[in-house]
């Protein structure tokens, strides 16, 4: 559906006096359009398909072509009868269903150029041909047995299925991805045998938990193989909530060559990663380009370029369209370490990558929702049990109808001579039918069938066959009644069929699940004391030693000293920006010497995000983060660490507020403290002071906005904040042009103690208080 139609559906511009829509086709199209907007690009739990995919499969099945047929015909069928959208998007969906590197179990078998894993486009639909693949039988085999409902198409001229009667949960088997309006979904593919066993377990034990499911279905199984290195608890969290991520890694081997040479051969890649992509990433590392707005590449890019050139001599893709993947990496020297070479490539390319998981579906209630694996399997098994019940009811009706006809023929066979005389004596078929019903008590249906019989069906052999058929039909009728009369028998039938499908269609797992640490590169750095210096305009550098005389440090014209911290070359520095993002820098990567440093945004992708604070301490060190709007929270330094060069969204900053420097709760070398004996002192810009227990401030490991520390009216800001571990507080300000300080304690301090988020009281001194300092 195009965007104009979407707007028209939800914007009421109609005239209340306008004539009502009377056209059946118009009403059908409106109903079709609303349902399509609601379900756009989201798969159904029942059959795992999006609307366009379902219509493609149904159109191919209804065409009944049998062999390969031009894709152009099927695209036209879909557009003309069921899916009035663009032909390009419809053909793209059809190609996706046929790509073995995209679908774990392809539902369409293509003939011709259907694209490649490197991103090559498929040939035009006038050149390619397609037919249903063997796995499509699991989708369509029971379609004509009353298993699902049908609805009118967009113009009311044709019928199309609302869902397909999937015998297996194809939403889990092939996965899905898409970004509809207001939603996104990214469901990984899984192994058929494992999913079938998990579905059986859910039917047998409706109270089954996620751990029992994961014992049978330990994780995704992608078409291209690869290796999942995530920890079991990470996989469990993603499957329990329906949201998370897993880390994947390529699989490779080392081939030994003549004269001690060797090469790395990559045979499997992470899902969505292609050999061409890896080659382009390595090319970008050895031929870096300046960032937007920069004239030259950054020092980090130069170091990475030389690092890769020292390790890699050449990269070749020796795979072709039909053979398995073979990406060859030649080392610069046979004497270098294989582990160092592959680790460098894992860190700097997509050979190791994160795969997001977001299992958002259209449920059986018709509403989109994010579901965990247990809920998904429960819903699908409910759907499957319902379709098997409807199929059994349909087959029972057909069986009873046929048995009724057969019993009529057997009775007719016993009186065949008299029946022939009655029919010959009748004026027409209607009178013959009435005569048969009157004399032998045939029903109208039986009488009509007898009148339609061919003479060749009146042989003795045919009579024997009728008795055999009656016995078989009676057995089938009793079996269907048994199944429909017992929920236990119905569930047992579903379990039996799942087992049969598992044995017939199942295959071995392709993706290995072997937990491992993410690849890292360790550089040997001599541990030395340094001082990190940041200027007001964002130039950063490191100087050797601690206790530097800052008056002797020069800055660029118009720039000045902003902040400095003392640390070691082996440390990681955490930077906090005005936007609330945090960044991480290796201190050893900072320029040293007598220069004026480099802009900090050439080392991290902070762009124009002004750095407000730099921290360097053990990761367990606690800090109090706050803004000038008066809100704050506690976190560990390790919570702010990130591997992402563009930083991590950590702190929510209200509009118009400033980020304040993080406050270390107590020095790392001090005696262990607890929040129970500490007070937070908050000073507002209008001179009001509030003290309250540190225990009232929450710890937020994931960051956020925090809580209100002090109530601030408009135009008033948080001026200063401190934490005191003694019943005393140092306040400071300026009187007659001179800086002054004094200590509040006992009664003078007690009058300012209150509850968090109160307004505080004015400090009773004869000067404007501008800062507070705690006493450890």
Residue 480 is a catalytic residue: no
Catalytic residue among 82, 91, 127, 239: 127
**pLDDT per residue over 138-178, tens digit each?**
999 999 999 999 999 989 999 999 999 999 999 999 999 88
Which backbone phi and psi does 649 adopt, to 5 degrees? Answer: -65, 110
Residue, of 651 and 526, whose pLDDT is higher: 651
pLDDT, average across residues 419-437: 91
Task: Specify the pTM.
Answer: 0.72
Q: What is the pLDDT of residue 670?
A: 56
Q: What is the pLDDT of residue 518?
A: 85
Q: What is the pLDDT of residue 669?
A: 54
Has residue 721 got a pLDDT over 60?
yes
Cα gap 128→765, rounded to integer Å? 87
Whose CA is closest to 249, among 349, 105, 104? Answer: 349
Q: What is the pLDDT of residue 9?
A: 31
Cα gap 410→307, rounded to integer Å? 89
Three-state SS sequence of 306-338: HHHHCCEEEEEECCCCCCCCCEEEEECCCCCCH
Q: What is the DSSP letter of 627?
A: B
**pLDDT per residue over 352-364, tens digit each?**
999 999 999 999 9
Three-state SS sequence of 568-608: ECCCEEEEEECCCEEEEEEHHHCCCCCCCCEEHHHCCCCCC
Q: What is the pLDDT of residue 530?
A: 94
Q: What is the pLDDT of residue 699?
A: 94
Model confidence band, residue 462 (pLDDT cutoffs 50, 70, 90): confident
pLDDT, average across residues 228-237: 95
Cα gap 580→702, rounded to integer Å? 12
What percent of the chain is modeled with pLDDT above 90?
71
Copy the structure tokens of residue 351: 């050979």
Has residue 513 got a pLDDT over 80?
yes
pLDDT, average across residues 183-208: 95
Has residue 126 got a pLDDT over 70?
yes
**pLDDT per residue over 87-117, tens digit each?**
999 999 999 999 999 999 999 999 999 998 8
Q: What is the pLDDT of residue 21?
A: 35
SS3 223: coil
Cα gap 711→688, rounded to integer Å? 10
**pLDDT per residue over 576-586, tens digit each?**
999 999 999 99
Q: Are 681 and 718 in contact (CB under 8 A)?
A: no
Cα gap 166→175, rounded to integer Å? 14
- Per the DSSP assignment, residues forming a β-bridge with 735 are 738
Q: What is the pLDDT of residue 304?
A: 87
pLDDT, average across residues 645-658: 93
Q: Are 150 and 159 in contact (CB under 8 A)?
A: yes
Cα gap 313→331, rounded to integer Å? 5
Q: Are 133 and 108 in contact (CB under 8 A)?
A: yes
pLDDT, average across residues 693-708: 93
Q: Which residue reads 């592959």 in tokens?
A: 342
What percent of the chain is modeled with pLDDT above 70?
91
**pLDDT per residue over 595-641, tens digit each?**
788 889 888 888 889 999 999 999 999 999 999 999 999 999 999 99
Model confidence band, residue 290 (pLDDT cutoffs 50, 70, 90): confident
Has residue 247 got a pLDDT over 80?
yes
Q: Are 349 and 281 in contact (CB under 8 A)?
A: yes
**pLDDT per residue over 299-310, tens digit each?**
778 888 998 999
Whose CA is closest to 264, among 248, 282, 246? Answer: 282
**pLDDT per residue over 673-689, tens digit each?**
666 678 999 999 999 99
H or E stretch covering 133: none
Cα gap 770→686, rounded to integer Å? 9
Copy the structure tokens of residue 146: 């009353």
Q: What is the pLDDT of residue 672?
A: 52
SS3 494: helix
Whose CA is closest to 511, among 287, 191, 76? Answer: 191
Whose CA is closest to 166, among 385, 493, 483, 489? Answer: 385
Whose CA is closest to 359, among 764, 42, 623? Answer: 42
Round the average pLDDT of the chain to a whole number and report it.
Answer: 88
Q: What is the pLDDT of residue 85?
A: 83
């Amino acid at each position: 559906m195009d965007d104009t139609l979407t707007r028209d559906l939800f914007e009421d511009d109609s005239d209340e006096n306008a004539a009502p829509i009377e056209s059946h086709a118009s009403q059908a199209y409106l109903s079709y359009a609303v349902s399509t907007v609601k379900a756009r690009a989201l798969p159904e739990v029942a059959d795992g398909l999006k609307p366009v995919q379902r219509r493609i499969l149904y159109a191919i099945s209804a065409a009944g072509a049998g062999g390969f047929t031009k894709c152009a015909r099927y695209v036209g069928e879909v557009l003309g009868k069921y899916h009035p959208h663009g032909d390009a998007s419809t053909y793209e969906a059809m190609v996706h269903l046929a790509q073995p590197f995209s679908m774990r179990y392809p539902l369409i078998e293509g003939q011709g150029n259907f694209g490649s894993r490197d991103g090559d486009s498929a040939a035009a639909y006038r050149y390619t041909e397609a037919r249903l693949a063997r796995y499509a039988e699991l989708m369509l085999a029971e379609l004509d047995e009353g298993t699902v409902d049908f609805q009118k198409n967009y113009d009311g001229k044709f019928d199309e299925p609302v869902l397909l009667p999937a015998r297996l949960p194809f939403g889990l088997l092939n996965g899905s991805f898409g970004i509809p309006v207001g939603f996104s979904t990214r469901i990984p593919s899984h192994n058929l045998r494992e999913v079938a066993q998990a579905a059986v377990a859910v039917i047998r034990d409706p109270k089954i938990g996620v751990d029992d499911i994961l014992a049978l279905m330990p994780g995704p199984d992608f078409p291209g193989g690869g290796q999942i290195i995530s920890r079991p608890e990470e996989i469990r969290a993603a499957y329990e909530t329906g949201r998370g991520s897993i880390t994947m890694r390529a699989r490779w081997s080392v081939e030994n060559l003549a004269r001690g040479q060797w090469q790395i051969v990559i045979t499997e890649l992470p899902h969505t990663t292609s050999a061409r992509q890896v080659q382009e990433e390595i090319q970008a590392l050895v031929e870096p380009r300046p960032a937007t707005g920069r004239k030259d590449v950054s020092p980090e890019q130069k170091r990475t370029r030389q690092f890769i050139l020292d390790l890699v001599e050449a990269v070749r893709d020796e795979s072709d369209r039909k053979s398995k993947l073979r990406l060859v990496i030649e080392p610069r020297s046979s004497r270098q370490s294989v582990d160092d070479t592959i680790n460098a490539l894992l860190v700097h390319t997509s050979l190791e990558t994160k795969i997001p998981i977001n299992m958002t579906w259209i449920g059986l209630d018709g509403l989109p929702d994010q579901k965990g694996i247990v809920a998904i399997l429960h819903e699908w098994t409910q759907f499957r049990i319902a379709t098997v019940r409807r199929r059994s009811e349909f087959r029972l009706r057909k069986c009873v109808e046929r048995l009724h006809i057969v019993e009529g023929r057997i009775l007719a066979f016993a009186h065949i001579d008299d029946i022939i005389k009655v029919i010959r004596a009748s004026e027409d078929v209607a009178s013959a039918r009435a005569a048969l019903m009157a004399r032998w008590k045939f029903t109208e249906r039986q009488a009509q069938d007898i009148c339609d019989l061919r003479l060749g069906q009146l042989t003795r052999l045919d009579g024997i066959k009728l008795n055999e058929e009656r016995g078989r039909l009676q057995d089938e009728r009793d079996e269907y009644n048994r199944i429909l009369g017992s929920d236990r028998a119905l569930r047992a039938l579903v379990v039996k069929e799942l087992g049969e499908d598992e044995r017939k269609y199942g295959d071995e797992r392709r993706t290995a699940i072997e937990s491992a640490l993410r690849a890292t590169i360790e550089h040997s750095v001599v541990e030395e004391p340094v001082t990190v210096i940041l200027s007001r305009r964002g130039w950063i550098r490191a100087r050797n030693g601690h206790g530097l005389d800052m008056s002797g440090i020069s800055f660029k014209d118009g720039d000045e000293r902003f902040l400095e911290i003392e640390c070691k070359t082996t440390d990681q520095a955490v930077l906090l920006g005005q936007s609330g993002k945090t960044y991480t820098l290796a201190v050893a990567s900072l320029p040293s010497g007598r220069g004026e440093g480099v802009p900090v945004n050439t080392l991290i992708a902070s762009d124009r995000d002004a750095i407000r604070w730099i921290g360097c301490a053990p990761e367990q060190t606690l800090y109090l983060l706050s803004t000038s709007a008066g809100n704050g929270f506690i976190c560990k330094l390790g919570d702010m660490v990130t591997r992402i060069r563009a930083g991590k969204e950590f702190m929510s900053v209200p509009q118009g507020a400033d980020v304040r420097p993080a406050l270390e709760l107590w020095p790392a070398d001090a005696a262990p403290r607890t929040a129970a004996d500490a007070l937070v002192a908050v000073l507002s810009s209008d001179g009001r002071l509030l003290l309250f227990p540190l225990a009232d401030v929450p710890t937020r490991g994931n960051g956020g906005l925090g809580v209100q520390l002090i109530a601030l009216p408009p135009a008033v800001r948080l001026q200063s904040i401190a934490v005191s571990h003694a019943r005393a507080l140092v306040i400071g300000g300026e009187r007659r042009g001179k800086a002054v300080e004094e200590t509040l304690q006992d009664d003078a301090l007690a009058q300012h103690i209150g509850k968090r988020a109160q307004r505080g009281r004015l400090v009773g001194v004869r000067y404007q208080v501008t800062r507070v300092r705690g006493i450890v």
